[in-house]
Each structure stands twice: as C-alpha cells, then as structure tokens.
Structure 1
C-alpha cells in the first residue's frame, strides 16, 4: 500500500486524443455510468484496468456512488460498490488520506493511492471487494472539488493481469490530470447533491468534536435527516441496537443527552 501526490506528471506513452475526446463528451451525460465507462475505455487495454468506480465522499459521510463501469456489464459492480459503501468503506486505505486532510485547506493536487489485496487484513472486506469480484489491486485518483468533498476514481485490476507494472502506473499518471478535471466537472453537473441543512449541521458537529468516529457521524447524519434507528441501521448494515449505542457515544462526546439538544447545538449562534 502506498500513496503519493501528482503535482507535475510527465507524459510517457501515446496519448489517444480520440479517447480523451470521448471522455470529455461523457461529462454531464444522462447515463450516470457513461463517465466511468469512458475512463475504462481510455485506460482499460493500455493499463490493464477492468473496472472503474467513482465515489463521492461528502461532508465526511459514507461514500456515494457517482458512476461505475465493469467489463462484465450488468449490476454486479453496482452491488459491490453498495456493499463497500454500506459496510467496509471505513477500512479502505483511501480513508486514511481523506481523514487526515486539513478540513480548512483545499488540496488542488491529485493524490494517488495504490492498494493490493494483500494489504487488506479484514477478511470480510477482502472477500467482498477483492476476492469475489476477482480484483487483485486498485489504483485510486483522489481529488477535491471543494472543501469537505472528495472524489475517488478507483481503477481495478483483474487477478489474471497481475499487479500494476511501473509503465502502466506511469500511463495512469499521465492521464490523471485529464481524468481529475473531467471528474470534477461531471460531478458538478450530475453527481453533486444539493447541500442541505442536515449536511451543514453535520459539518458543524464535526467542527465542535473532531473525535467523532465514522460510525457515530453516520448515525448523527441519519438522526439529522429524521431517520429512525431501524432505517439508519439498514443503511449502515448494523442492528438498530448498535445505532442506539453509536448515538449514545456521540451524544456523550458532544456533551448532550437528547435529539432536542443535538438540534439546539447545531443551530446555536456563535459556535463557528
């Protein structure tokens, strides 16, 4: 597992302008998965990429799937992405990068993170997101369209292709600025959700208490959206009783004991 910044990539290899044009044309497409499909066409044969998923991490919430493409077609990769976002995202090496970023500073560089199946110690995560989809490794392009929002363009390798070769990584680095810019524009047109009151309030809570865990933030997000413990549990893939436990822990960290106090804390003046 390794990560690095891509400030000034150098082009090594042939840039297929026709494929690059197709990628740009996919921005704002009515087909949500057209963008990931064009990334797959752009890099698939040359870099050995068989699957592509674009996730949005908004206001420290669980990731939301923006676009997916799989050489097998169908809903298979959608289901894998849903499982990842519901259960395993907090175990991803990408989370270390996103969580450690300074919230008040926008990073304009493209960050790359490489993760192989042997880097994953959690048996369930490894089985659901690597073994079963026949993935050996992944290279992620991480970028920030704005503060509190990250995009991850995940590029996956089939087991039969082996690990990434240095020349393939160099090719991905060469295309990374193009992919990053088009991903930002596509997200702005098709993937970006309207920033509502619950998201703003959740951002304030994170400012009050940076020690809130991922699970606690997921629960608080559901509470602020008016969901029941059962509904929140179904979204998180846990029991309703676990939701109650996470909520109690979050309330203790915030120094409150009720939902009324939670909303009062979010709306109180002078806490920015």
Structure 2
C-alpha cells in the first residue's frame, strides 16, 4: 500500500492549535493517520496500569464486535493476553502479536476459547509508556480474510513510532484518575462499602484454592501459553519440577485438563 499523503496531512491538520482532544477526537485522528499509511480492519486503544482492568479509550468496532473485543476482554481474558503482559513489563515500541506471544500461545486454551472468536489474522501494537505507570497500547488488527501485515507496512509503522509516542503522551496524559475511579467502583461498576477491600482480578483468581505462590505462578504461565520448558526458563527451575507442580495443581483443583483449568480460572475472576 502506498502512503496517502493527502489523508495524512488532513489528519495532522486536525491537531493544529489544539492543546487537548477528547478520546473520540484523538482516536479518530490516529485512525486517519494510520489509514493513510497501512491497511487494517480494526483499531482499538487500551490503557493498562499494573494488574487493574484496562480502560478502553477508543475503538472502531460495531456493537457485536465490541462485546468480543472489549466487553468480554475486560471481564478477564485480558489477564492472559500477550499485549497485557507486555504492558505489565513496561515495554515500549511497535510489536507484532507473534513477537510477544509465548511459545504455545497459538495452541493454548485461551487462544482456542477466546482469541479465535476475534477472527484475526494478525495484530500489531504501538506500546507507549507514560510517567504515571500507565502503558497505552494502540492495536491495529487485520481479519483472516485480509491477511497479515506485509513487512513493508510493518516497517512504515516502526518509522512512525516516535511521532505516535509523542502524540499519545500529549493527548492521552493524566489517565490515572480514570483507573482510580474504576477501582473505587469495584466489580461491574458496583460501589464498594467502606470496609470492603479493592482486590484486583489478577490477585483474586486463585484466592481460596490453596495454591502456593509457585503453583500460582506456574498456572498463570500455563494459561498464558507457555510450555513447561518456557516456564522453567522464566522461573529458573527444571522442566521436571514444572511438571511436578502442574500435576500437584491439577490434583488440588480436582481437574485433569487445561480446558478445565481455564474454566476454573474464568469462574474465579471477580
């Protein structure tokens, strides 16, 4: 795809003289900029802070697509998303999903149960870190019928990264208050009582299931799509030790498959 300079300049003109823009206005400006550079089917922007539920800033989905890509995602599957893990690590840059995904991601239960519903061939994300411990991920998505992003288009996005980073930090600054409001609201927008503790979903999943911290770490990595070998390397333990812990977890939870493990995981999300 060749660059549409006229569309690009029109998008830039929308920012002239505007010290601030709301989510929809800047999101649309960003969409126009990216559309002039590469072809994509969907665009979604999430802000991440620690283990908290991501805040959706902008998307191009219709109502049905929004349920899958945003509503269901925020309900818990985000915890297993490679983009969420990248935001947790505070990595900045432009990455293809397959660069970030664990070695068994595309055969994991999370992929088969949730991610395949998106019908995506590929997802590329701009990751922008801010000073308030927030990472903003701007995702460009292509459906299976469209195919993956060509290398030339990915190279263009890499070149655009410094400009995108500067604009995002300017127009999407000060998002901490939104996370604070979300935390005060509690699960599903319900206000917490005065003595009620604000537990994040990532901390509450295995609460009360009698798993050790090591077992919890291994289970989380299994569900993210890591093989036993990959888990061993990340936790600096042997593959055999990982397998022993996995067997112990299955015994404690009374399950025998990763499908059951994911089901239990989703049931325990707050």
Note whether the superposition's TM-score is higher than 0.5: yes
Matched, 1:245 2:200: no
Aligned twin of 2:156:
171
| CA-based RMSD | 4.4
Q: Structure 2: any 5+ residue segments left out of the alignment?
A: 217-270
- Equivalences, count: 202
**1:89 maps to which residue?**
78
Q: Could you list the runs of 5+ residues in structure 1 that have no partner in the other structure?
A: 1-11, 102-106, 200-217, 254-272
Alpha carbons of 1:179 and 1:128: their partners in 2 closer, same or farther (altered >3 Å)? same
| Distance in 2 (alpha carbons) for counterparts of 1:21 and 1:65 | 25
Alpha-carbon spacing, 1:33–1:247, altered in 2? closer, same or farther (3 Å): farther
Which has the larger displacement, 90-99 or 169-178? 90-99
Correspondence 1:52 to 2:59:
no
User: Which structure 2 residues correspond to residues 16-27 of structure 1 after superposition, within 5 A?
Assistant: 16-22=8-14
Change (3 A) 1:246 1:40: farther
CA displacement at 1:54 relative to structure 2: 1.1
Bigger strand share: 1
Judged with a 3 Å threshold, the aligned counterparts in structure 2 of structure 1 residues 82 and 249 are, in CA distance, closer, same or farther, namely farther
1:173 Cα deviation from its structure 2 partner: 1.6
Aligned to 2:94: 112
Contact kept, 8 Å, 2:95 with 2:125, in 1: the verdict is: yes
Distance 1:176 1:224 in 2: 40
Cα pair distance change 1:128/1:59, threshold 3 Å: closer
Give the TM-score normalised by the residue count of structure 2: 0.57
Aligned residue in 1 for 2:66: 77
Q: For 1:159 and 1:181, how far apart are their aligned partners in 2?
A: 31
Q: CA deviation at 1:226?
A: 5.5
Per-residue deviation at 1:22?
3.1
Instruction: Give, in angstroms, the shift of residue 126 of structure 1.
Output: 4.8
Structure 2: distance between partners of 1:170 and 1:27: 30
Contact 2:105 2:111 (8 Å CA) reproduced: no
121, 139, 144: which one aligns with 2:107: 121
- 1:98 and 2:87 equivalent? yes
Deviation at 1:182, TM superposition (A): 1.8
